[in-house]
């Protein structure tokens, strides 16, 4: 597969032109990559007006992912999530007119990333949240959504909604049934938007299991999370069904939420990923998935309790094995293994085909040194959906003050407090912070919050 962006930059660097343009390092510096860190010089195309090498590279990506259109982002899924909601709102206005009398509602699973909340505030949307149907299922990172649950929520709203927004995979490796849920959304005449930040690779599984393969209309992937792409590289995919109507809006929408100087290092990295994906990736991915199944088998054999269904994540239910997840993470760190995420209940390890056999062995050896203990009898405190007092937008654009959580009980959340990762809010901007919610905030290690003044 061709790599037009990478080739162009290589040739530019080799030509040794006098760089009387940005960036200020002029192609020299200690990082070693400066020669390839260029700006929109002649021939380099321009991400938000692409019609040359960047567009060609995006078309290659679209071909590989089987999308209607694929667009690059050098600013992560965070930029794409906002863009998806902007596009859904444009479609909604085209269908229902500017004078739509009801609220402009997005139905969203509660484990949405903070970029979703930013989009809701910036675009003035209202959210009807999907909560885990069983209280016992509450965990900051997950929100199982059933066909019946989504159907009942859309029916209860009773008027057209801008979109349904779901996160799958979630941070713990939970997966939603996108196939079924997309059918429900479509029955109600709305779009399904999927935050697939953790699942770019899923199109290359056998059978393909990317949200676009399963019926999503718009989808974002953080290429950098699971593919060999520099941090910040992401895709915004449009399904064939919406490509014609939405594609003309996409670049303008992306540019509203991003810098006018997207990194060419990241764009080259996305470009090179096309070649990587085209050259036997399915096979390497299948081998990696198989090796992880073996590792899961070994961990289960030694008594460890695992969670999640995502093929490239291993999630240990640490508390069920007698460990605070953060304690387990620090014990593993001492043994030279760094996890992706740890909280009081779980530890998450992310693998890709780039991991070597030694990595699997080392993780297993380190975990084997820790004996499985008696289950820690605890779980996130019981928590009822907080009372909404202000819209997300009203709350985010209100002056606020920082308070210790104890003193914030009874006040309204300003910019939502999130720990990063997973950047998911317990109490969303505009909601009242109840005693029960305060306990959950503590549970997840947040002790100060911003409240509306």
Ligand X SMILES: Cc1ncc(COP(=O)(O)O)c(C=O)c1O
Strand partners of residue 219: 194, 237
β 218-221/234-238 pair status: antiparallel
Strand partners of residue 234: 73
Q: How far is the CB of 102 from ligand X (least distance, A)?
A: 28
| Nearest CB to ligand X, comparing residues 23 and 421 | 421
Q: How far is the CB of 328 from ligand X (least distance, A)?
A: 21
Q: Do 81 and 119 touch, CB atoms closer than 8 A?
A: yes
Strand partners of residue 167: 195
| Nearest CB to ligand X, comparing residues 77 and 83 | 77
| Nearest CB to ligand X, comparing residues 197 and 318 | 197
Q: How far is the CB of 112 from ligand X (least distance, A)?
A: 8
| Nearest CB to ligand X, comparing residues 234 and 339 | 234
| Nearest CB to ligand X, comparing residues 121 and 451 | 121
The residue nearest ligand X at its CB is 76
Q: How far is the CB of 429 from ligand X (least distance, A)?
A: 17
Q: How far is the CB of 293 from ligand X (least distance, A)?
A: 24
| Nearest CB to ligand X, comparing residues 231 and 398 | 231
| Nearest CB to ligand X, comparing residues 423 and 437 | 423
* List of residues 6+ apart from 68 with CB closer than 8 A: 62, 237, 238, 239, 240, 241, 242, 243, 244, 247
| Nearest CB to ligand X, comparing residues 76 and 414 | 76
| Nearest CB to ligand X, comparing residues 198 and 313 | 198
Q: Do 43 and 8 touch, CB atoms closer than 8 A?
A: yes
Q: How far is the CB of 222 from ligand X (least distance, A)?
A: 3
Please tell me the distance from the alpha carbon of residue 5 to that of residue 262, in angstroms, as a whole number. 13
| Nearest CB to ligand X, comparing residues 60 and 222 | 222
Please tell me the distance from the alpha carbon of residue 263 to that of residue 331, in angstroms, as a whole number. 37
Q: How far is the CB of 259 from ligand X (least distance, A)?
A: 13
Please tell me the distance from the alpha carbon of residue 73 to that of residue 221, in angstroms, as a whole number. 10
Q: How far is the CB of 266 from ligand X (least distance, A)?
A: 11
Q: How far is the CB of 38 from ligand X (least distance, A)?
A: 23
Binding positions for ligand X, rule: CB under 6 A: 76-78, 113, 115, 167, 171, 195, 197-198, 222, 234, 421-423
| Nearest CB to ligand X, comparing residues 184 and 194 | 194
Three-class secondary structure assignment of the chain: CCCHHHHHHHHHHHHCCCCCCCCCCCCCCCCCCHHHCCCCCCCCCCHHHCCCHHHHHHHHHHHHHCCCEEEEECCHHHHHHHHHHHHHHHHHHHHHCCCCCCCCEEEEECCCEHHHHHHHHHHCCEEEEECCCCHHHCECCECCCCHHHHHHHHHHHCCCCCEEEEECCCCCCCCCCHHHHHHHHHHCCCEEEEECCCCHHHHHCCCCCCHHHHCCCEEEECHHHHCCCCCCCEEEEECHHHHHHHHHHHHHHHHHCCCCCCCHHHHHHHHHHHHHHHCCHHHHHHHHHHHHHHHHHHHHHCCCCEECCCCCEEEECHHHHCCCHHHHHHHHHHCCCCCCEECCCCEEEECCCCCCHHHHHHHHHHHHHCCCCCCCCCCCCCCCCCCECCCHHHHHCCCEEEEEHHHHCCCEECCCCCCCCCCECCCCCCEECCHHHHHHHHHCCCCEEEEEC
| Nearest CB to ligand X, comparing residues 197 and 370 | 197
Q: How far is the CB of 170 from ligand X (least distance, A)?
A: 7
Q: How far is the CB of 172 from ligand X (least distance, A)?
A: 11
Q: How far is the CB of 233 from ligand X (least distance, A)?
A: 8
């Amino acid at each position: 597969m061709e790599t037009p962006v990478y080739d162009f930059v290589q040739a530019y660097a080799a030509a040794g032109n006098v760089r009387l343009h940005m960036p200020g390092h002029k192609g020299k510096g200690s990082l070693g990559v400066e020669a390839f860190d260029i700006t929109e010089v002649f021939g380099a195309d321009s991400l938000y007006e692409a019609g040359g090498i960047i567009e060609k590279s995006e078309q290659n990506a679209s071909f590989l992912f089987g999308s209607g259109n694929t667009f690059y982002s050098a600013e992560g899924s965070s930029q794409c999530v906002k863009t998806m909601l902007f596009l859904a709102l444009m479609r909604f206005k085209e269908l229902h007119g500017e004078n739509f009398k009801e609220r402009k509602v997005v139905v969203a699973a509660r484990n949405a990333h903070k970029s979703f909340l930013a989009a809701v505030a910036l675009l003035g949307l209202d959210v009807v949240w999907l909560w885990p149907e069983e209280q016992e299922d509450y965990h900051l990172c997950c929100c199982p959504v059933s066909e019946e649950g989504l159907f009942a929520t859309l029916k209860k709203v009773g008027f057209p909604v801008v979109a349904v927004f779901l996160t799958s995979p979630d941070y713990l490796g939970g997966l939603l049934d996108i196939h079924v849920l997309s059918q429900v959304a479509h029955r109600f005449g709305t779009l399904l938007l999927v935050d697939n930040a953790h699942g770019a690779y899923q199109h290359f599984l056998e059978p393909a299991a990317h949200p676009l393969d399963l019926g999503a209309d718009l989808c974002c992937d953080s290429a950098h999370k699971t593919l060999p792409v520099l941090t910040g590289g992401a895709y915004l995919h449009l399904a064939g069904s919406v490509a014609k109507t939405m594609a003309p809006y996409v670049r303008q929408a992306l540019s509203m939420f991003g810098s006018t100087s997207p990194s060419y290092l990241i764009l080259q990295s996305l470009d090179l990923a096309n070649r990587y994906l085209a050259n036997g990736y399915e096979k390497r991915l299948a081998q990696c998935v198989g090796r992880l199944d073996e590792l899961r088998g070994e961990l289960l054999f030694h008594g460890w309790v695992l969670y999640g269904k995502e093929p490239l994540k291993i999630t240990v239910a640490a508390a069920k094995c007698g460990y605070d997840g953060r304690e387990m993470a620090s014990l593993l760190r001492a043994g030279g293994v760094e996890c992706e995420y740890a909280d009081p209940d779980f530890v998450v390890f992310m693998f890709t085909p780039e991991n070597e056999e030694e990595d699997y062995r080392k993780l297993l050896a380190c975990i084997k040194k820790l004996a499985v203990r008696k289950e820690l009898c605890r779980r996130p405190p019981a928590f009822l959906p907080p009372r909404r007092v202000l819209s997300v937008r009203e709350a985010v654009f209100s002056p606020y003050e920082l308070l210790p959580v104890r003193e914030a009980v009874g006040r309204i959340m300003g910019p939502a407090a999130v720990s990063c990762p997973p950047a998911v809010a317990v109490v969303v901007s505009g909601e009242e912070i109840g005693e029960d919610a305060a306990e959950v905030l503590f549970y997840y290690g947040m002790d100060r919050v911003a409240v509306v003044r």
